[in-house]
Structure 1
Amino acid sequence: MTATHLRSGAPLNRQGMTVVELLVAIAMIGLLLSILLPAVQMARSSSRRLHCSNNIRQLVLGCALYHDSFSVFPPLRRISSANSCGEATVFSRLFPYVEVPDLCQLEESETQHIPQFECPADGDLRSAPKPLSYTANASPGDGSGSSLRGPFNSFELVSARDITDGLSSTAGISEDIVVRSKGTRSEGARQPVKHAWYVSVPDVSAATRMNPASPAAIAERAAQTESSVQGCVSGPRDFVNLGSPSIGRWAGHWGSGAQYSHWLPPNAPYCIVSDSLSDPNMFLVHNRRAASSHTRGVNVGYIDGHVRFISDKIAQEAWRSMGTRNGNETVNID
């Protein structure tokens, strides 16, 4: 019998890998994930932002089609209507022009959600009744003390010829987000735009209430508005633990959730007047801000149909000028 001898220099078949090789592989995988995950998150964020932008574009184009039919833009709220299915708003009036069933049909079918009216960046809205992720420009807003006007109004019908600043320079519809209920002050401090805040606002004189159209009254109301805006943006303000989410609704909503004013900067906190009973005409009683869950800005649809993403850091003068239809400003927002 011949014996088989194993040479001392012959290679051995190894099973598995060393600890060092395993650690190197894990480190490489972690490095790849650290590179890929932000890119994936950014792609998702861009997709949500584009989705919201497309919805806004359809809404402002719907406003143009409404104008073609009635020679005016839809009023902010119901001026005169025999609609028995709920209060007519800018958005419910646009139903026929954005491929949404009639308001009465929606009410009868107990429909709670319209995809075209919800922005995916706004989070899970399944529990919110008839949510609206968009808001109509009512600048400068009720109680602002300004004589300027925006494209949507509660008390007058506005046509294209009334927009003397130009359709391409006048904002029509922007984004809004659900203001979360409950939470803590620390959570609110981290994301003030998603929580509610009380702001103390100085009262106006009896003379202003008696004669609100006088120059002195208008000036005092404007000063009160500026004080409330400053308090909302930078304080002092008090955290509000809402019992239920505050949302805009696409029908039956007379409150301020379906309108916003450019007198407040984009993505400002959601502010409430701490005591409005003595003066119900305060600016913050009626007006909110444009807001989104996107990073560093909001989508804004202009009356001519185009949409732009506007930075949170836009200058106050530029932001307010794009909110009015008759200020005759010449301001570059870039």
Structure 2
Amino acid sequence: MQRFGFFSFVFFYGDSMKNKQLPMGEASRRRAFTLVELLVVIAIIGILVGLLLPAVQAAREAARRMSCSNNFKQIGLGIQNYHSTYKQNPVQSGGSYHDPGNRNLLSYMVGLTPFIEQQGLWEQISNPRAINHNGSTRTPPFPAMGPVPWDRNYTPWLTQVGTYRCPSDPATPPANFEGFTNYAACIGDGIASNNHSCFDQYGNEMGWCTPRRGSYNRGYFETRRVTKFRDILDGLSNTIACGEIVVDSNTLEVNATVVNRGSNASFFITPADCESTIDPLDPQFHLDGTNANNWGTSQRKGMRWTDGRPVLSSVTTIMPPNGVSCAYSGDGSDGMFTVGSRHPGGAHILMGDGAVTFISDSIEAGDKYANSPAWPVGSSTTSPGKKSPYGVWGALGTRASKEVIQEQLNQ
């Protein structure tokens, strides 16, 4: 009995307790939590939820960022296949001119549609269309390659292509509105005349600007002009083909807004002058009253995947990612259009060889007080072969300036 004394005690004590009746009030008190215990449990749960939510949000953004990158890879693959088929890149602000035509204003993304598994949409665009968006008969029909990009009677222009949208950007088109885009063509490190590259909307050469064209239209894409892989002398893996952008939701955010300079060309000479409208107390936004509202409801950055004008679907490599953007005047004018994103710390770029890289906001971008290439006439940067004054960032945006990129961008 001594050997099993402890267990015997437990057994007989427990057995005796079965027959012992506790007062009702005492039994109920033992079955309930005290207020202090309840508050402690609630506090612990609150702390755990508070620790968990940021991790969940970070995981969701990581998934969105990966999806965003995958879309860019599809675009890069589409450009490669386009070049294999036509022996040239798709034209940024291309198309045709006839009445009523698209005035050579279509973005590079229109020609890519059959190469990103949008064959049905491409067939609508590439053939005459005798029906309006509301179902009524169109007489005469829309011509092949469609009308101007802002014509809302043309159904293909109102179609949102999922591949052209980054899921991290929450902006969505309202009803009967053009489709948005977050992926823009890189037109280099120049400002002057980068809206037309010395071609008018009829496809005619502008004689006054042609002698200096090569000085400032130095990107993978040239507005209204054909480029080919053979033109990328710096190497496809060293040249940016496209950059990510943020859709302008009319909130004066610096990384989304293109400021209308109202014919003030001072930023052509010194790009830093474009920063004069940034709110010093809240540098992610422009000051109230900044001239950006006269672009119209759909003439803003990223608001039309079909529109090849720089304000809507082009980027330059002057200011680093998420920096300021501004244009001379009007939605079709030349200017400085900066890469941006909703991802923390930077934005994606697509290289000419199809590689997608995330570039930090802090990338070395040279001297923002330096003269923009080819402006003014006779400046040290006028020669087409001059290196970009905007550091590694500017060098990545030029196709044939012989810069050597020593950094490993994917590390």
Which TM-score tier does this pair reach, normalised by the shorter chain? 0.7 to 0.9
Indicate which of 174, 177, 184 corresponds to 2:243: 174
Paired positions, count: 297
Change beyond 3 A, Cα 1:234–1:296:
farther
2:72 to 53, 56, 62: 56
Deviation of the 1:158 alpha carbon: 1.8
Q: Does 1:244 align with 2:262?
A: no
Query: Which of residues 246, 256, 260 in structure 2 aligns to 1:194?
Result: 256
Query: Does the CA-based 8 Å contact 1:134-1:174 persist in structure 2?
Result: yes
Residue 330 (structure 1) aligned with residue 346 (structure 2): no
CA distance in 1, matches of 2:260, 2:157: 34
Greater CA deviation, 231-240 or 321-330?
231-240
Mapped to 1, the partners of 2:121 and 2:100 lie a distance apart of: 12
Which one of 299, 302, 306 corresponds to residue 355 of structure 2? 306
Residue identity in the other structure for 2:364: A
More deviation, 113-122/83-92: 83-92
Considering only CA atoms, is the larger Rg found in Structure 1 or Structure 2? 2
- Tell me if structure 2 keeps the 8 A contact 1:257–1:288: no
Quick one: distance in 2 between partners of 1:314 and 1:97? 32
Alignment match of 1:225 (pick from 265, 268, 271): 268
Q: How does 1:139-158 map to 2 (within 5 A)?
A: 139-143=188-192, 146-147=215-216, 149-158=218-227
Contact 2:171 2:249 in 1 (8 A): no
Structure 1 residue 234, shift from structure 2 partner = 5.6
Distance 1:327 1:5 in 2: 95
Selected match of 2:55 from 39, 53, 67: 39
**Structure 1 residue 195, shift from structure 2 partner:** 3.9
Is the partner of 1:193 in helix, strand or coil? coil
Residue 96 (structure 1) aligned with residue 143 (structure 2): no
Identity percentage over the alignment? 28
Q: Deviations over 1:22-46 (max 9, x none)?
A: 1211111111111110111001111
126 and 332 in structure 1: CA distance in 2 versus 1, 3 angstrom threshold: same
Aligned partners of 2:67 and 2:257: how far apart in 1? 24
Deviation of 1:265 (Å): 2.0
TM-fit CA distance, 1:84: 7.3
Q: Where in structure 2 are the equivalents of 1:57-136 lying within 5 Å?
A: 57-78=73-94, 86=102, 87-100=105-118, 101-103=120-122, 105=124, 107-108=154-155, 111-127=158-174, 128-136=177-185
Give deviations 1:115-143, integer Å, cap 9, x for gaps. 11111111131315121111000112440
Residue by residue over 1:208-253, the C-alpha shift from the partner in whole angstroms, topping out at 9 and shown as x without a partner, is xxxxxxxxxxxxxxxx5252x2022465675236252514322244
SS in 1 for 2:320: coil
Q: Which has the higher contact order (CA 8 A, sep 6+)?
A: 1
Secondary structure in 2 matching 1:20: helix
1:288 aligns with 2:337: yes
Q: Which runs of 5+ in 1 are unaligned?
A: 205-223
Verify the 8 A CA contact 2:184 2:315 in the aligned structure 1. yes
- Using the size of structure 1 for normalisation, the TM-score is 0.77
CA distance in 2 between counterparts of 1:110 and 1:151 reads 25
Instruction: Specify whether residues 32 and 7 from structure 1 end up closer, same or farther in structure 2 by C-alpha distance, changes over 3 A only.
Output: closer
Identify, as 1 or 2, the structure richer in helix: 1
> Contact 1:141/1:260 (CA < 8 Å) preserved in 2?
no
Relative distance call for 1:306 and 1:154 in structure 2 (3 A) is: same
Alpha-carbon distance in 1 for matches of 2:89, 2:185? 12
Query: Partners in 2 of 1:65 and 1:157 — Cα distance?
Result: 16
What is the TM-score of this pair, normalised by structure 2? 0.64
Match of 1:258 in 2: 313
Q: Quick check: 1:167–1:302 contact (8 Å CA) kept in 2?
A: yes
Report the Cα offset of residue 255 of structure 1: 4.8
After superposition, the Cα gap between the structure-2 partners of 1:73 and 1:234, relative to the gap in structure 1 and judged at 3 Å, is same
Secondary structure at the aligned position of 1:123 is classed as coil
Between 1:322-331 and 1:262-271, the stretch displaced more is 262-271
Q: Which amino acid aligns with 1:269?
A: V
Alignment of structure 1 residues 206-225 onto 2, 5 Å:
224-225=267-268
Q: CA deviation at 1:177?
A: 1.5
Q: What SS is found at the alignment partner of 1:105?
A: helix
CA 1:244–1:16 in structure 2 vs 1: closer, same or farther (change >3 Å)?
farther
Change (3 A) 1:17 1:321: same
